[in-house]
Amino acid sequence: MNRAKQIVASMRLVNSILSTQHSITRCLHSQVTQYSHLSLYFSSSLSKQAYSYDFLNTHQKQFFSSKPNSLVELVLNNDWSEEVEQELQKSHPTQTHETVLYVLKKLDRNPEKALNFFNWVSDKNGFKASSTVYSLMLRVLGRKETMKEFWILVKKMSDEGYDMDEGTYNTLLGNFGKAKMTSDAVALTEFFSKMVKEGATDAIVKSVVEVIQESDWNDEVKKKLEDLKISLSENTLLRILRQLRAYPLKALRFFCWAADHHNYKHNAVTYNAIVRVLGREESVDKFWDMVKEMKSSGHEMDIDTYIKLARQFQRSKMMKDAVELYEFMMDGPYKPPIHDCSTLLRQISLCANPDLSLVFRVVKKYEATGHSLSKAVYDGIHRSLTSVGKFDEADKILETMKNAGYEPDNITYSQVVFGLCKAGRLEEACKTVDDMEKQGCTPDLKTWTILIQGHCMAGDVENALTCFTKMIEKNCEADADLLEVLVNGLCGNKRINSAYNLVVEMVDTAHLRPWQATYKNMIQNLLAEGKLEESLKLLRLMKKHNYPPFQDPFVQYISKFGTVHDAKEFLKALSVKEYPSSTAYLNVFLSFFKEGRHSEAQDLLYKCPHHIRNHNDILSLFGSLKRGTANA
């Protein structure tokens, strides 16, 4: 079916859903806030808060020079040669763990130069690589064109007694899978499994971990550790900390015990290992204490540790700690990637109630290190302001952004639409979408989805469908995300039939492939209303779209309310083959028995194919029923 017919059919469906309305015409009476030229200073009501906006001077830029960056530039800007090595030796005679990691991270898109630097620093500069450095190098080399070098390095790392960390293994395995490097993926899994097994059976590691885990930390635990008379190496200590990562405070106790009672001198590698373990909500205070101790001991947080902790804090919505970590690294020699500012701003904005003070702390620190604000950074500020309903202040940010040479785009307008919907100002959100087009910015699918979802969340499904109709008229095609939004909205308003019709129409007419979750949600809602036939049609569509069969709600429904014919139709819908698996039949029989519907189970058995009637498990099931009846 061509595109024009798809549009007509989809509009016909929506109009039928809207049949209870006299008209689908929208009347928007509220006026959206108009953008105007504003100064860089904000309203007095806002200036009384703990943050201010007067840092937004985009024309002022500071420049800083740092040793790690000069090292990176030397390697990046020159072909590798003896002259480069001599210059490296002359200008950077010694390298720390943190510096090597930083340089390798900066070279991660240039594996040849990264390997040259790694070989130079290891073979000619006397640097002793740690498991963290090896793991990073393996992530750099883990691509088709450098697999020979990758496996050479794996062997070297193993020969030196170092372990690949689990995060590196998972990253590499995922990359190998995407690149269809099956044999390398199998070999990597074998290597990692062997390494994990050896680490778990390491006598020292196993003994120490068992002592620490079996009880709370006390003098008895310390005495048992002393009685073990262990000899600690860097790799052994790292293995112990890795085994204790689920017990951060116990890991910290052991870390301190090793220094106080075992005369072990911690280095940058072990300090970074313990702060990784402590970087979680239940131990974050100890984390910051350890960061200060690490700094006072002359060591820095390495860039790999920072990246992992930043992700962990953001994933756990520990935004205050994520911001403090960003500030800490920006004040040090190993600064985060430039895109971390916009990433962090986005994560703050995604919180239910973004903390604006954190937003402006991030931006101030970003500017203080010499960066001018990019479009992505402006978007980050704007997103948080609109999310908390500060639309006047958001307009002022837009003016500042325009003055810096960045015009509003779909991202900008979508953020306004989201904020207005969140604030319940739906008419203004619709007006904003209209204004977009007047400004020459065509709303995209994401903008429409945000607008439609805002109406659905407010319970205004009628206008959500009106927006959907308008979107189709403008030749913007729906996707599975938007269908999910509409289905959830309709089902939430007890419009199950409408949701079902919409799903079927979008599959048949627009050739859309709904999410598995959309199918499951619809099937459960339909069965709750006794609509088995419609549910079976969706089950067949799921099968057509290669989703695994969603059996449980059907089995439960049919065993309680269905007939033998219903059971046969369900079993037929399960498989692309002539008959489904014996397990599927067994589940239906068991469910009938559970409901006490023995005669229906027996009738269904008689209508089953020969190989099912004579299957051992099914014969055993019905045999036990007969024995139970006879005994009764």
Q: How many angstroms separate the CA atoms of 464 and 420, rounded?
A: 15
Please state the rounded mean pLDDT for residues 59-79: 67
Please report, for the chain, how many H helices and E strands are present, in that order: 36, 0
Instruction: Dump pLDDT digits (tens) for 531-575.
Output: 999 999 999 999 999 998 898 999 999 999 999 999 999 988 887
Please state the rounded mean pLDDT for residues 411-418: 94
Pairwise pLDDT comparison (16 vs 258), residue with the higher score: 258
The answer to whether 486 and 499 are in contact (CB under 8 A) is yes
Predicted pLDDT at 615 = 87
Q: What is the chain's Cα-based Rg?
A: 31
* 8-state DSSP, 548: P
pTM (two decimals):
0.80
**Alpha-carbon torsion (114, 116, 117, 118), positive or negative:** positive
Instruction: Dump pLDDT digits (tens) for 330-356.
Output: 999 999 999 999 999 999 999 989 999
Lowest mean pLDDT segment, chosen from 310-319, 399-408, 609-618: 609-618
Query: Percent of the chain beyond pLDDT 70?
Result: 87
Pairwise pLDDT comparison (288 vs 23), residue with the higher score: 288
**Alpha-carbon torsion (450, 453, 457, 458), positive or negative:** positive
Q: How many angstroms separate the CA atoms of 291 and 272, rounded?
A: 9
Question: Which of 54-63, 201-210, 576-585 shows the highest mean pLDDT?
Answer: 201-210
- pLDDT higher than threshold 70 for residue 14: no
DSSP 132-196: HHHHHHHHHH-SGGGHHHHHHHHHHHHHTT----HHHHHHHHHHHHHTT-HHHHHHHHHHHHHHH
Residues 6 or more apart whose CB falls under 8 angstroms from that of 392 comprise 33, 43
- pLDDT higher than threshold 50 for residue 209: yes
- pLDDT higher than threshold 90 for residue 357: yes
Structure tokens at 558: 């049919």
265 φ, ψ (degrees, to nearest 5): -95, 115
Predicted pLDDT at 95 = 86
CATH superfamily of 71-198: Tetratricopeptide repeat domain (1.25.40.10)
Question: Residue written as tokens 């209303």?
Answer: 529
The answer to whether 508 and 6 are in contact (CB under 8 A) is no
Q: Which amino acid is at 215?
A: S
Predicted pLDDT at 41 = 29
**Alpha-carbon torsion (37, 41, 46, 51), positive or negative:** positive
Predicted pLDDT at 379 = 95
Give the residue range(s) of CATH 1.25.40.10 domains in the chain.
Answer: 71-198
Predicted pLDDT at 31 = 25
Question: Residue written as tokens 């079902």?
Answer: 500
Predicted pLDDT at 49 = 42
Q: Give residue 195's pLDDT band: very low, low, confident or very high (50, 70, 90).
A: confident
Q: Give residue 577's pLDDT band: very low, low, confident or very high (50, 70, 90).
A: low
Q: Give residue 63's pLDDT band: very low, low, confident or very high (50, 70, 90).
A: very low
Question: Which of 44-58, 64-78, 366-380 shows the highest mean pLDDT?
Answer: 366-380
Predicted pLDDT at 626 = 59
Structure tokens at 300: 């820095």
Please state the rounded mean pLDDT for residues 313-318: 95
Q: Give residue 263's pLDDT band: very low, low, confident or very high (50, 70, 90).
A: confident
Query: Percent of the chain beyond pLDDT 90?
Result: 65
- pLDDT higher than threshold 90 for residue 150: yes
Please state the rounded mean pLDDT for residues 443-469: 94
Distances (CA, A) of 145 to 80, 148, 175: 19, 8, 13
Burial 532-565 (b: 16+ CB within 10 A, else e): bebbbbbbebbbeeebebbbebbbebbbeebebe
- pLDDT higher than threshold 70 for residue 28: no
Predicted pLDDT at 52 = 42
* 8-state DSSP, 477: P
